[in-house]
Structure 1
Amino acid sequence: MLVTLKKIIDELGENQAVPAFNVYGYEDTKVVLDVASSLGAPAVLMTNRDAVMHMGSRNLCNLLKSIGEDYDIPICIHLDHAKSMEEIEEAVKSGYTSVMYDGSNLPLNENIENTSRIVQFAKKYNVSVEGEIGSVGYSDPNIKIQGKYTDVEEAKIFYDETKVDILAVAVGTLHRMTGQEAVINYELLNDIEKKLDVPLVIHGSTGVKNKDLIQLAKTTVKKVNIGTAVRMTFGKSLKSQFNTEEFDRIKLFEKPMKDIEGVILEKYKLLGFKKTSY
């Protein structure tokens, strides 16, 4: 059942935040949906710019929609970190139900102007919009994007002007962290919560400690982005088989799919979804 991100967030239970997983094709998408279905939980399938450049928005969205037809759970297909109106338009017309515009490294007034235009466009298609204020940087030294904590007053101005459905904030995480070493600035998060009446998103959540994931689900954080943890597990599991005699693609993917299942299930449970059939 394809739904908007806003609908998923509106229907979350107490002390729950939905994990949003970056997916790249059939294998990881199927595992996310299998785990979510076993828990009776919603699924947010995110595609980043790398995946879109590799497959194209229409091909990727059609693949995810087709796989999702086998599941009786709420499913959102979300475009992550779009940098232009053209990317947003292509995704929306391809069938995405949620988009994120990332103008976080632009001047505030330009970020507001661009995001507002995207919100107005997306509303015509009943598509949710995520914006970002502050900037979540990268732990990868090859990516030259500097992190900057969210400024509370800027966040309020941004939300009041744009009325995004959900807002990504920078409170201590970095994209592509390979260890759980992030230090969450709860004082800043609390200040943001007091000033803004909007669900929040945490990016770069592979680096968030388990105890912090549990704590974040008790706040107004309602979406937690996870990519690196799944990619790392899948990649390492796949590489571990390269010295074997196996060459069949389907066989080679069996172990990685099983291994990421555990990662995905753990994140769901930490974020408030109780174990059922798994």
Structure 2
Amino acid sequence: MSIVNGNEIFAAARKGHYAVGAFNINNLEWTRSILAAAQETNTPILVQTSMGAGKYMGGYELCLNLVQQTVKSMGITVPVIMHLDHGNYEAAKECIEVGYTSVMFDGHDLPFEENLEKTKEIVALAHAKNISVEAEVGSIGGEEDGIIGEGELADVEEAKKIAATGVDYLACGIGNIHGKYPANWKGLHFDRLKELAAEISTPLVLHGGSGIPKEQIQKAISLGVSKVNVNTECQLAFADATRKYIEAGKDLEGKGYDPRKLLAPGAQAITDVVKERIDWFGTPSVK
């Protein structure tokens, strides 16, 4: 299966009241683990790099080549979307040029009119190359790779204007945050989500999917969310499994220090998290 854009997949998800997961990669293990979960469940998946991950991994072209070659070497047959997560204007343009099949332009920190104009520019550039575009209105709370949001609720009228640019999916702030959720988090604002979904037919995106209770995620999906982003839970699962391996002294047994053995429990933990979230999201099998 070649890497595809997200247009048909997420339009079908919005219509069918299910979601497709978007999972961040950080290296080869992350890439293989996430793709393995998609193949084992026979479901489409979106793999994405943040700007920070792109820099860490050696650049967007290398990230794209890594995913393409891993799809080939693993014999992945399900649809895979290669996406830029929370890209600024320059990063979005670079990923369009490199050949990502989907990009997010995150202009939430710009004055609204500038966000709107730059979104239009990215849509024109991307669509000319059959690349999907995600935009954001209303900041997502918390921090991810230096992208900081206050967690404000998306304004419905602003969301309608951004959607009218022709974006293929739209991230809207509805009380969700990146990273770990604090104990005093008040939950998702479903009233605002209902307002947005009533006015916008574009597939909606729930960022900060890690840590939101299952029932809230599924309610959000029933109301129009078609893409759910997950990153922190995979990181926590990887760290926990790796810690247990070392604390059990496994790295001191034979060649347990070999990174292929040392990283294996964490890699499997990522696959397990992704498979569980695919089940939560109700993603149907590929026919």
In 1, the alpha carbon distance for the partners of 2:64 and 2:147 equals 27
In 2, the alpha carbon distance for the partners of 1:200 and 1:144 equals 20
Asked if residue 73 in structure 1 is aligned to residue 78 in structure 2, the reply is: yes
In 1, the alpha carbon distance for the partners of 2:241 and 2:151 equals 31
One-letter amino acid of the structure 2 residue matched with residue 47 of structure 1? T
Aligned partners of 2:239 and 2:266 also within 8 Å: yes
Q: Compute the displacement of 1:220 (Å).
A: 1.5
Aligned partners of 1:173 and 1:207 also within 8 Å: no
Seen in structure 2, the aligned counterparts of structure 1 residues 186 and 122 have a Cα distance that, compared at 3 Å, is same
Quick one: which of 80, 88, 96 aligns to 1:83? 88
* Unaligned runs of at least 5 residues, structure 1: none
Q: More deviation in 249-258 or 23-32?
A: 23-32
Q: Give the secondary structure class of the aligned counterpart of 1:267.
A: helix
Q: Please list, as runs of the form range in 1=range in 2, the aligned pairs for 1:171-210 lying within 5 A after superposition.
A: 171-177=174-180, 183-210=187-214
Which residue number corresponds to residue 168 of structure 2? 165
One-letter amino acid of the structure 1 residue matched with residue 170 of structure 2? L
Q: Please list, as runs of the form range in 1=range in 2, the aligned pairs for 1:4-23 lying within 5 A after superposition.
A: 4-12=5-13, 14-23=16-25
**1:133-178 deviation per Cα after TM superposition (whole angstroms, max 9, x unaligned):** 00002068x9753221101111112222x22111000001100125
Which residue number corresponds to residue 252 of structure 1? 262
Quick one: which of 201, 216, 219 aligns to 2:220? 216
Which residue number corresponds to residue 231 of structure 1? 235
* Unaligned runs of at least 5 residues, structure 2: none
**1:181-225 deviation per Cα after TM superposition (whole angstroms, max 9, x unaligned):** 560111100001111121100100102111112222222211000
One-letter amino acid of the structure 1 residue matched with residue 68 of structure 2? K
Which residue number corresponds to residue 96 of structure 1? 100
Q: More deviation in 225-234 or 31-40?
A: 31-40
Normalised to the residue count of structure 1, the TM-score between the two structures is: 0.92
Q: Compute the displacement of 1:179 (Å).
A: 6.8
In 1, the alpha carbon distance for the partners of 2:149 and 2:227 equals 22
Quick one: which of 264, 272, 276 aligns to 2:282? 272
In 2, the alpha carbon distance for the partners of 1:31 and 1:215 equals 27
Matched-pair identity in %: 31
- Aligned residue pairs total 273
One-letter amino acid of the structure 2 residue matched with residue 258 of structure 1? Q
